[in-house]
Amino acid sequence: MRWQLFLLCAGLLLFSQSPVQAACITPIHFHLTSEGPWKGHGDIRQGRTCNGYYRTGRIATFRKLYLSEPPAHGTLRLQEGGTYSYTAPTGFTGNDPFMLRICGKEGLVTGCSKIVYNMTVE
């Protein structure tokens, strides 16, 4: 089996840079053919929302995004097409991890990967 660069990655959705809604999740690279968990992180201020998405490349096809473990303090919303948003709670500072599961096809192999995000709320 030939390993290829992973072209499916978590990225930033930069449609908004307002004080209420901003990009804050660091892009990561991962393979759909490896369960993981892969690790990601983000930094956000209290009461703000940041957005992330999954995009496909030449050899990867996105299928579905699942919430495996919700954040303990903030709110996570999944939208169609692999987009998601995390809203940090007001009055909380510290780490707020959550886990997503992304499924799709990489080359000829169908698979899913777990990604654990550790959001640092300031």
Assign residue 15 the CATH number of its domain. Answer: 2.60.40
Residue 1 lies in a domain: no
Please report whether residue 54 resides in a domain: yes
Is residue 106 assigned to a domain?
yes
Alpha-carbon span 46 to 22, nearest angstrom:
12
Residue-range definition of the domain harbouring residue 20 = 9-121
pLDDT interval class at 67 (50, 70, 90): very high
Question: What pLDDT score was predicted for residue 25?
Answer: 76
In tens, the pLDDT along 87-99 reads: 999 999 999 999 9
- For 7-53, the pLDDT digits (tens) are 333 332 222 223 344 457 777 777 787 888 889 889 999 999 988 87
Position 65 in a domain: yes
pLDDT of residue 8: 34
Q: Once rounded to an integer, what is the mean pLDDT over residues 59-80?
A: 90
